[in-house]
Homo-oligomer: A and B are copies of this chain.
Amino acid sequence: MARVRLVEVARAAGVHPGTASRALNPEARDGVSKQTVRRVEQAAKELGYVPNSMARGLRTSRTMVVALVVPDITNPLFPPIVRGAEHVLNAAGYTLVLTDTNNEAETERDQVRALRGRGVDGFIVATARWEDETLQELAEAEVPTVLVNRRNGAGSFPFVGSDDRHGVRLCVEELADLGHRSILHLAGPPNTSTAASRAAAFTQVAAERGLADVYTASADSYSEEAGEEAAAHALHEHPSFTAIVAASDVLALGAQAALAARGLRCPQDVSVTGYNDVDYVRKLTPPLTTVRVPLRREGELAAETLLGLLDGGSSVPTQLLLPVELMRRGTTAPAPAR
């Protein structure tokens, strides 16, 4: 059963295809009589007409497709974002293509180029590095793009993220209130905005609270192994820490592994906080104290922002920071007496 085309609908309604096209398109329905619109719609419904989006795309050069670029869909940070974005995109008639860059700048570049060739209308990018050539390409070509979760240095794109500084503040203050004076910040890889702003917030808040014995160690990536390694090294140098503020949940897990390796208990000996409140960390024992980030909402807002860009034209790049919340759980406790 071949697909029914616009011509058939037009014939059934006794009008010219062009007229049928306008009748079906709410934007252009002005020049068509109500009568005709009804007849065409009727015919379309009866024949089960589904417009051929390639023909349409060819003519209008809009595909109604947007791409979402993530480093690794396996990382529980991203599925909620994907979900949120897909939800609002679908509602607006867009289709979401997901692309997983495997955390490699090169694959990312290739993927994005391929997608551009496919005529994708816009990008939501969750992989931004601080210096990011892919994003630069997109900027130069003026491809509608919005950044989510992380941003780049150039700052030429709208960005939807969360209030990193406040999140870290919550952690540090909580720990300070619990009596901790000697705190390690386990930061993310330096080429990411999240790592940078969280680290900056850490030193600032530590200073505000008069914490003198603080230190920042950077992990090479947002992975448990990198976290463990960085934490182990830092703990070796500065065994005095009684608390660790990790820049992400997986880093916190790495930190806990490093503590365990040194025979330190969490939270009795050393408190640990995570970041993101990824799905499962509340089920661990002890459940991880962490900062809840509204990931799904980020995805939704990123999509909405992109939609705005797509039909509204370009406005001033928005920078949207969603509020975060401290989830007090089992990995934080009063500083041990020494």
Q: Which of B58, B73, B74, B98 contacts A54 (CB 8 A)?
A: B58
- Nearest CB of B to A14, in Å: 25
Interface flags, A59-79, vs B, CB<8A=1, else 0? 001010100000011101001
Residue A153 interfacial (CB < 8 Å): no
**A82 in contact with B98 (CB, 8 Å):** yes
Q: Is A119 an interface residue (CB 8 A)?
A: yes
Q: Say which size band chain A's interface belongs to.
A: 35 or more
**A285 contacts B by Cβ under 8 Å:** yes
Q: Does A114 contact B (CB under 8 A)?
A: yes
Q: Which residue on B lies nearest to A49, using beta carbons?
A: B117
Query: Are the CB atoms of B53 and A118 closer together than 8 Å?
Result: yes
Q: Is the CB of B73 within 8 A of A95?
A: no
Partner of A119, one of B54, B74, B285: B54
Cβ contacts A108-145/B at 8 Å (1 or 0 each):
00010111111100000000000000000000010000
- Quick one: given A55-B58, A58-B52, are A118 and B95 in contact (CB under 8 Å)? yes
For the complex, give the distance between the alpha carbons of A298 and B143 in Å: 35
Q: Tell yes or no: A57 within 8 A of B by CB.
A: yes
Q: A230 contacts the other chain (Cβ, under 8 Å)? A: no
Q: Is A179 at the interface (CB under 8 A from chain B)? A: no
Contact pick for A74, options B80, B99, B117, B118, CB 8 Å:
B80
Q: Which of chain B's residues has its CB closest to A80's CB? A: B74
Cβ–Cβ contact B283 & A53, under 8 A: no
Q: What are 29 A-B pairs at a CB distance below 8 A?
A: A1-B141, A50-B113, A50-B116, A50-B117, A51-B117, A54-B58, A54-B61, A54-B63, A55-B58, A58-B58, A65-B97, A72-B83, A76-B76, A76-B280, A82-B98, A83-B100, A86-B98, A86-B100, A90-B111, A95-B99, A95-B114, A95-B115, A95-B118, A96-B97, A97-B97, A253-B283, A280-B280, A280-B283, A284-B285
User: Given A72-B83, A76-B280, 17 other A-B contacts at CB below 8 A?
Assistant: A50-B116, A54-B54, A54-B61, A55-B58, A65-B97, A73-B82, A73-B83, A74-B79, A76-B76, A82-B98, A86-B98, A90-B111, A95-B97, A95-B115, A96-B98, A284-B284, A284-B285
